[in-house]
Amino acid sequence: MREATEGFHSILGHCPAMRQVFQTIRKIAQRPRATVLILGESGTGKELVARAIHDASPLANQPFVEINCTALPENLLETELFGYEPGAFTDARRTKKGLLELADGGTFFLDEIGDLNLRLQVKLVKVLEEKVFRRVGGTENIRVTMRIMAATNRDLLKLVQEGKFREDLYYRLNVVTIKLPPLRERGGDIWLLANYFLKKFSKEHQRAVLGFSPEARALLMKYPWPGNVRELKNSVERAVLLGGSKYITPEELNLGSGHIIKNFPIQIDNHQTIQIEIPPQGISLNQLEKSIITKALKITHGNQSKAARLLHITRETLRYRIQKYGIKVH
C-alpha cells in the first residue's frame, strides 16, 4: 500500500479533514464487502476516493466498474446495469452482460446515486440485500459478490423525506460514509494542489512555468473555489497553456467575479435559441437539462404543452423532469 505524507494513493492533501478521510480509507479498504457511501460537492474527488479504496483493498486485482447514474436515459441505464437477453426489446438479438455482472468479484461504483430513478432503486436494493438479479428479459437469477460503493453531491436524507429516494436503499448504502470537505475548507491543501498541478501540466505541455506570482498565490488562497479541486485543476492548466511568463499571474488564472466564461447557444427549433451559461468548473448533465427546461418554460410563459413541443419530448416526460428538478412553473 503506497502512502505519502502529502496524501494517499492518487489523492493529495494534509489538512485534518483529509487526514481523517485517509484514515477511513485505510480501515475500510481491508473490509472488502462493506458498502461505502461517498458524499461531497461536485469536484471534490469522490471517484478518486472510490478508486483509492479499491486499489488499497484485497480486491485491487479484480474489476473496478463504474457508472454515472445521470449519463443515460432510464431504459438504457437499466440494460447497462443488468444486461439483457435476446428478445428483451426490438434490437436485442443476443445476450449481453450488464455492468453488475462484469463487476463480479470486484468493486461496483455508482456515481450520482441521488439521481437514480425510483424503479431502478428497487432493483438495486435487491442486489444489495440478496446479491442477486436478473437480466432484462431474463428469468435466471444471477448471483454476484462484490463491494458496492456509491457517491452523490445531493442530500439523500432530504430526498428520502421528499419521497424521491428509497429509505431502505439509503440505509443499505449508508454503512460507511466518507464526507469529503470542499476545497475552500482545506486551507494549505489549496497551495499543495496548485503546485502539483503546475508541475504536472508544465511537464505535460512542455511549458517553462516556474511558479505563481505572490499576487496569484494570494488569489488562490482567498478564492472560494465553487468547483473545488476540478476547478483548481482546470484553472492552473489553462494558465500554464495560455500564460506568457515564467510566473502565473492573477489575470492568467482568470478567476474573475461571476466566473462565467461562455454562453453556449442551444437551438431548440427553427425559431428559438436559448443561451446556457457554462462556468469554468463545468456543468453537470442534470444542471444543463434543468437549465434548458427552465428556459423553455420561460419562453412559453409556463405553458407545459408548448414547452414539451419545443423540446421534442412528451408532456409526461416534461412533467417528470419538472418534478425531478423541483422546477417552479408560474
Asked whether the beta carbons of 227 and 43 are under 8 A apart, the reply is yes
The single-letter DSSP state of residue 181 is P
pLDDT score for 53: 97
The CATH classification number of 262-325 equals: 1.10.10.60
Quote the distance between the C-alpha of residue 2 and its chain's center: 25
In whole angstroms, what is the distance from residue 13 CA to residue 241 CA? 25
- Cα-Cα-Cα-Cα torsion 85, 90, 94, 97, nearest 10 degrees, comes to -50
**Model pLDDT, residue 32:** 94
| pLDDT (0 to 100) of residue 269 | 59
Q: What is the mean pLDDT of residues 143-164?
A: 96
Range with the lowest mean pLDDT among 21-25, 92-96, 104-108?
A: 92-96
Q: Which residues 6+ apart lie within 8 Å of 50 measured at CB?
A: 36, 38, 64, 66, 107, 109, 149, 151
Does the pLDDT of residue 140 top 70, yes or no? yes
- In terms of phi and psi (left: phi > 0; alpha: psi -120 to 50; beta: otherwise), the region of 228 is left
Which of 223, 284, 222 minimizes the C-alpha distance to 259?
223
Evaluate if residue 1 carries a pLDDT over 50: no
The CA-to-CA distance between both ends of the chain, in Å, stands at 56
Q: 274 and 284 in contact (C-beta within 8 Å)?
A: no
Residues recorded for the chain? 330
Give yes or no for residue 148 having a pLDDT over 70. yes
Q: What's residue 261's pLDDT?
A: 46
CB hemisphere CA count around 246 (13 angstroms):
1
pLDDT at 72: 83
Asked if 189 and 13 touch (Cβ cutoff 8 Å), the reply is yes
d(CA 232, CA 226): 10
Residue that wins the pLDDT comparison between 137 and 269: 137
Predicted local confidence at residue 102, as pLDDT = 96
The angle subtended at Cα 120 by Cα 114 and Cα 125, nearest 5°, is 85
User: Measured at the alpha carbon of residue 314, what is the angle toward residues 308 and 316, in degrees to the nearest 5?
Assistant: 105
pLDDT at 278: 64
pLDDT in tens, 157-186: 999 999 999 999 999 999 999 999 999 999
| 298 or 285, which is more confident | 298
pLDDT reported for residue 19: 95
In terms of pTM, does the model score above 0.95? no
Mean pLDDT of the 94-104 span: 93
Task: Compute the distance between CA of residue 42 and CA of residue 28 in angstroms, rounded to an integer.
Answer: 23
Residues 115-133, mean pLDDT to the nearest whole number? 94
Domain boundaries, given as residue ranges, for the chain: 3-179, 184-253, 262-325
Q: What backbone phi and psi angles, to 5 degrees, belong to 276? A: -110, 130
What pLDDT digit, counting tens, does each position of 192-241 carry? 999 999 999 999 988 889 999 999 999 999 999 999 999 999 999 999 98
Strand partners, 11: 8
Using the CB atoms, write b or e for 38-53: b if 16+ within 10 Å.
Answer: bbbbbbbbbebbbbbb
Identify which has the larger pLDDT, 215 or 324.
215
> Considering the chain, what is the average pLDDT of its residues?
88
User: What's the pLDDT at 315?
Assistant: 84
Bigger pLDDT: 312 vs 183 = 183
- Which pLDDT score, from 0 to 100, does residue 280 have? 57
| Model confidence at 138: pLDDT above 80 | yes
Of 3.40.50.410, 3.40.50.300, 3.30.1490.190, 2.40.10.220, the CATH number of 3-179 is: 3.40.50.300
Which residues make beta-bridge pairs with 3? 8
Tell me: the pLDDT tens digits for 242-267? 887 899 999 999 885 444 445 555 65
Which residues make beta-bridge pairs with 263? 277
CATH of segment(s) 184-253:
1.10.8.60
Round to whole Å and give the CA distance between 295 and 290.
9
Q: What is the pLDDT of residue 2?
A: 40
